[in-house]
Amino acid sequence: MKIGLIQMQVESGEKERNIRHAFSLLEEAAREGCRLLVLPELWTVGYDFRRIREQATRPGDSLMEGLASFARWHEVTLAAGTLPLVNEGALYNTGVVFSPSGRLQAHYSKRHLFYGYLEAELMRPGKRAMQTDIGGIASGMAICYELYFPDLFRAMAKKGTTLVIVPASWPLMHVSRWEVLARARAIENGMYICAVNMAGAYHGVRLGGHSLLADPEGNVLTEAGADEEILYGEYDEEKYKDLGKQMAVIRSVRDGQSGEE
C-alpha cells in the first residue's frame, strides 16, 4: 500500500490559509497513486491556542464535509491528521479518518495531553483507542507526545494492529528523540509506524519535520528533511506476514504473553 505523508508548513492561527494549502498538497499527493494520505497534528491552526475555540472544527462543518468529499472524489483513505474538535461542548485534539467512500470511518482523541503548554489546560483527553481497517490493514493512531507511552502501542499490537499513524507537531530541538521513539515502538511491537510531523515554526519554536515510515524491524524506509515535503512510502503486506516467524518478541505480543491491556 502506497502512503503519502504530508509534512506541511503551518502558519500559526491562519486557519483558512492552512486549509487551502493542505488541500493543494493533498491534490498533489493523490496524483501519485497513494491509497492512504496522512496530515500532521493540528494542521489547521498549528499550536496556536489564542483563538482555539473560535477556530475549532465541529462535526459536520464545511471542513469535515470538504475532507469527506476529497476522500470520495479521489477514492483514497484520508487520515486528516488531528483537528481541534468541539464535541458536546468540550474541546479535543482529535484525529479523523475518512474512507474512500467519504465516510467518517474512525476517529481518535489524544489521551495523553502535553503538560507545560495550553493543550492540557484547554483540551479534554480522549478515553478510547482506535482500530480500523485501511486497505485490509489493521490500523491505529497515536498523537505526537504519545510516542513516549509504550503501553499505548503494546495494547494496539495485542489487538492485531500492524500500522500506527502518528500525526505530530514535534519541535526541532527534540527531533533526535522523535526517530528513536518511533523506531522503538516499531521494533518492540512488530508494527509499521507512519509518523507525520509539521514543518515551519510557531512563537519562535522551530518544528522538526523529519516525517518517517518505519517498518516492523525498525528500519526507516523513508524520511523527510526539516522543510515542507510530501514523502512517499510503502507498507509491505508480504514482509509483515513472515515477521512473526522470525522474531520471538512479536510472537509474544501476538500470543498475549507481555504488556498490559
Instruction: With beta carbons less than 8 A apart as the criterion, state whether 166 and 143 touch.
Output: yes
Q: What is the CATH number of domain 2-254?
A: 3.60.110.10
Strand 77-87 and strand 36-38: pairing? parallel
Can you give the pLDDT at residue 246?
55
Q: 189: which 3 cell numbers?
A: 511491537
What is d(CA 117, CA 113) in angstroms, rounded to the nearest whole number?
Answer: 9
pLDDT along the chain (261 residues), means of 10: 97 93 98 97 89 92 98 98 95 98 98 85 94 96 97 94 96 94 95 96 87 96 97 88 60 58 41
Q: 242: which 3 cell numbers?
A: 513472515
Kind plus residue range of the DSSP H or E element containing 129? none
Residue 246: partners with Cβ closer than 8 Å, 6 or more residues away: none
Q: Cell match 474541546: residue? A: 91
**Annotated domain spans of the chain:** 2-254
Can you give the pLDDT at residue 232?
98
Note the pTM of the prediction, 2 decimals: 0.93
Can you give the pLDDT at residue 261?
41
